[in-house]
Structure 1
Amino acid sequence: MDEIRRLTHEDLPLPREFWIQRWGADFVVARGESIRYNEVEGFVYDEWKGVITFRARDGECEVTSFDSLEEGNGIGAALMNKVVGEARKRNYRRLFLITANDNLRALRFYQKFGFELCALRRGAINETRKIKQSIPFIGMNGIPLRDELELEMNL
């Protein structure tokens, strides 16, 4: 039976490896800020078929990473629902995330889920490469990788 559970301190080596495999480093960068795997909270779906991480600041909740190893079967929606519920329980006013301009599948998912575009940071990924050199210049679907898009859900 599939289950979602909270990431624990004992789990920390696993998100680190997951991030290295999926994102090329043990940190992600958003808005020019490095976010380390051990600075976030999160949930895991059925022993690492999917994972979502988030952090809270100033009454807001930021999704810092979101991955499903099996797309199209509800894992992503289940994980996102868990974070939405957690954010509401903590009385956060907003849930938001940053993605890249080439991530069309994610943009479709987030908007169908109820997120709205709220910011475009033109050229932000070019700046991010100064922090994380492993970011390619050409992204998914052959799209030049250069901009950050912020999406939000008001809670």
Structure 2
Amino acid sequence: MGDRVWPADDEGGGRVAPIQVRPAEPRDEADVAVLHHRAWGGPYVVVHDTRYDLRELPTLVAVDGAGEFAGALVYRLAADGLEVVSLAASSPELGAGSALLVAAEAVARAAEVDRLWLVTTNDNLSALRFYQRRGLRIVAVDVGAVDRARRLKPTIPYVGEDDIPLHDELRLERRLEPMPRPR
């Protein structure tokens, strides 16, 4: 992955600086920690009845054209695909989320897995819109998953975006075409 510059998505019609995505380095720890605290209340998330310490998983970071930290994607790679465990951007209009998702897809393809997947919550309409516009499809609903997750992380709120009660997880995925083999 190195210094590859991934294209940013200019969904809002504004000017978008080029976004560079690379594996996280020690110098990124503070920025990533602040972002995870803002997004999740700290380094721990609970998805599909599993508690993850985001500091222990591979992380991609996005920086804008000026070299400023713009977002992070934490993932788990397994035989059944690449799971996006966390995706958060400092400023949604920069295109960092889109660039991070493109980079995660490249990681998945390089690992020869054919699925990129993630879980979001029933209240997170902005995430559902974002992911579906990028080709992910809802493939499962785990009714009551967030209610169960509160046993592992009691700080999960009961009401989410737009005052929607927070109860369920939705799994989204996109099947990936294999990388072309060199001839």
TM over 0.5: yes
2:174 is aligned with what amino acid? M
**Match in the other structure for 1:38:** 55
Deviates most, 118-127 or 11-20: 11-20
2 CA distance for matches of 1:78 and 1:17?
20
Cα drift, residue 38 of structure 1: 2.4
CA contact (8 A) 1:102 1:144 kept: yes
- The Cα of 1:136 is off from its aligned counterpart by 0.7
Q: Tell me which amino acid in the other structure corresponds to 1:16.
A: A
- Output aligned runs, 1:6-155, within 5 Å: 6-9=23-26, 11-46=28-63, 47-155=68-176
Whole-Å separation in 2 of the counterparts to 1:66 and 1:139: 17
Q: Which of structure 1's runs of 4+ aligned residues deviate more than 6 A?
A: none
Q: C-alpha offsets along residues 3-46 of structure 1, whole Å, 9 cap, x if unaligned?
A: 22211355445433432232112211111101112221121111
Segment drifting more, 38-47 vs 75-84: 38-47
Structure 1 stretches of 5 or more lacking a match? none
Q: Is the 8 A contact 1:49 1:70 kept in 2?
A: yes
- Residue identity over aligned pairs, in percent, reads 34
d(CA) in 2 for partners of 1:37, 1:73: 23
Unpaired segments ≥5 residues, structure 2: 1-17, 177-183
Q: TM-score, normalised by structure 2?
A: 0.79
SS of the residue corresponding to residue 106 of structure 2 reads helix
CA contact (8 A) 1:15 1:37 kept: no
- Superposed displacement of residue 125, structure 1: 0.4
**Number of residue pairs the alignment of both structures matches:** 155
Greater C-alpha radius of gyration: 2
Question: How large is the RMSD of aligned CA atoms in angstroms?
Answer: 1.6
- Kindly tell me: are residues 135 and 58 of structure 1, through their superposed partners in 2, closer, same or farther at Cα, counting changes over 3 Å? same
Cα pair 2:19 2:95 within 8 Å, conserved: no
- What code does the residue aligned with 1:87 have? A
